[in-house]
Structures are given as C-alpha cells and as structure tokens.
Amino acid sequence: MRFTVITWNINSVRLRLPQVKRFLKRHAPDVLCLQETKCPDDKFPRKQFAEIGYPHVEIYGQKGYHGVATVSRHPIESAEREKFCRKEDCRHLSVVLGAAAGLAQPITIHNFYVPAGGDEPDPEINEKFAHKLAFLDELAAHAISLDAKAGARSILVGDLNVAPLEHDVWSHKQLLNVVSHTPVEVEKFRVFQQAGGWIDVMRGFVPASEKLYTWWSYRAADWEISDRGRRLDHVWASPALRGTARKMSVIRNTRGWKQPSDHVPVIVAFDF
C-alpha cells in the first residue's frame, strides 16, 4: 500500500494552523510530523485536526519553545516520548502504526527536533552548542539507532538541524564555521546515521551533487532570489525499509506564503 509521511518544522502550530489545514487538504498524507509546535499539550488544536480528517494525535509540547506533534489519519497503536541529555525539552516523539492503518507489518515513526545550537560553534563558550553535540552523541548510542540497525521497521524524520553535505548549503566554504554545517556537527551526524544504518531518503531522489534545501532564513531580504538555503530537515529509513520509498517532494512554495515558517514541508511516499 502507498503510505505518505510529511515532516514540517511549523514554527508555532497555533499561529500557522490555517496554513497547515490548507496544506493537509491539498496533499492529504497519512501522517504529518510537526516540529517547533511551541504549544503546551492542553492547548494543542486537536479538534481542528479531527475536523479535517486527522483525529489521531500524539503530542509532546511545552509553552513557547520546541515541541513535536504527530497527527494521523489512522489509529496509532502506541506512542513514546524520549528525553535526551536529561532535559524535559520536548524534542522526540515516536508512534507505531499497524494493522488498523492497513499495514501488514508495524512501522515506527520517530519525530525529532534536534537542538539548533545557538550562534557560536564553540562548546566551551556556548552551552547551546555543547547541548547539540551531546544530543547527537546520545542519538548515536540510543536504542532508536541500535534497533534500526538490528532490523526494526523505522522511519526517522524531523528538523535535525544539521546540513551534512556540501550541497546541503548554499556555500560550503562560507558556512564551514556556521552552526549547522561545522565539521564537528557533520561528523557526529555521520556517526549517528551510521549507528542506525539509516538511509537518507531525500538524497535517494536528489543526487548529492545537486543543491537541496528545506530552510531559508527570515533575515534574507528576498529569500527566493538570494536562495541561500540549507537542508536542515531530513527523512531517514531503517535498513529494513530499503527500497520502499517511491517519491519525495520538497514543497518550496510554502516559504512564500503569508507569515510562513522558515522551513518547508518534505513529503515522502512509501510502498509497504
């Protein structure tokens, strides 16, 4: 069966709810994973999602910062929320979908918002950057990755806040000392990816030699003309799901909507 997953750092789900509803009506995925929801659990707009065909909602949120949410057309069998670096900062949520979703074998979808890391790429003077590096280290050693390599049927999506490849940024040379593309982040990201044997689904459709972005800064006077983007949002599949991804799209036009998120959605269709 065809099964479609979308990841989108929405940068406030309540502020951009009309955009999300418009997008869901047009693209109608099976599952939508949101990051930076910036919404406590009791304020999440569950009713509005149910009204447009997404009654199954799992959330891990807090007021004003961070937060992840996964909404689904289909019943969710179970959900887990993992804490990393001993912080209750709402950065991970996993859901399992199975027979009630029409799947012959269950699928686990991990939804992540990795710390951005601040501005200064020096963990000695920047606590946020130190947190980011520790978070990536923990991901590499975590059961999420170990289970993926051991045969779990897993999809990992989200704003991972690292642009690892040369053409994941507008200028490799100019961004080597900019947080999200520094060598130390890229190396830890690589170790994390290899720990799970994770497959970079997006680059399976767009070669590493071609530019691929999912984020454009609000600071740009004209983001589209300057096109100084980065690929901070990712979709990975565990080795057990190799070859199941059939189509991938980066919905760039949403960056031009009124009051947009600085990230755009990524859609991947799988055949299970």
Q: How confident is the model at residue 51 (pLDDT cuts 50, 70, 90)?
A: very high
Judge whether residue 79 has pLDDT over 90. Answer: yes
pLDDT per residue as tens digits for the range 238-262: 999 999 999 999 999 999 999 999 9
SS (H, E, C) the chain: CEEEEEEEECCCCCCCHHHHHHHHHHHCCCEEEEECCCCCHHHCCHHHHHHCCCCEEEEECCCCCCCEEEEECCCCCEEECCCECCECCCCEEEEEECHHHCCCCCEEEEEEECCCCCCCCCCCCCHHHHHHHHHHHHHHHCHHHHHHHCCCCEEEEEECCCCCCHHHECCCCCCCCCCCCCHHHHHHHHHHHHHHCCEECHHHCCCCCCCCCCEECCCCCCHHHHCCEECCEEEEECHHHCCCEEEEEECHHHHHCCCCCCECCEEEEEEC
Q: How confident is the model at residue 266 (pLDDT cuts 50, 70, 90)?
A: very high
Task: Determine how many CB atoms are found less than 10 A away from the CB of residue 160.
Answer: 26
Of the candidates 26, 32, 31, the one whose C-alpha atom is nearest the C-alpha of residue 10 is 32
We report the CATH number of the domain holding residue 14 as 3.60.10.10
The whole-number average pLDDT for the span 38-51 is: 97
The pLDDT of residue 221: 85
Q: Count the domains in the chain.
A: 1
Residue with tokens 């029409």, as numbered in its chain:
102
Rounded CA gap, 265 and 8, in Å? 4
pLDDT per residue as tens digits for the range 96-109: 999 999 999 999 99
The whole-number average pLDDT for the span 82-94 is: 96
The whole-number average pLDDT for the span 37-50 is: 97
Rounded CA gap, 249 and 188, in Å? 27
pLDDT per residue as tens digits for the range 176-201: 999 999 999 999 999 999 999 999 99
pLDDT per residue as tens digits for the range 112-123: 999 999 999 999
Question: Degrees (nearest 5) of the Cα angle 154, 5, 99?
Answer: 60
Q: How confident is the model at residue 78 (pLDDT cuts 50, 70, 90)?
A: very high
> Residues with Cβ < 8 Å from 4, sequence gap 6 or more?
27, 28, 29, 30, 31, 267, 268, 269, 270
The letter for the amino acid at 202 is: M
The pLDDT of residue 50: 98
The whole-number average pLDDT for the span 69-97 is: 97
Rounded CA gap, 201 and 235, in Å? 6
Where in the sequence is the domain holding 46, given as residue range(s)? 2-271
The whole-number average pLDDT for the span 137-161 is: 97
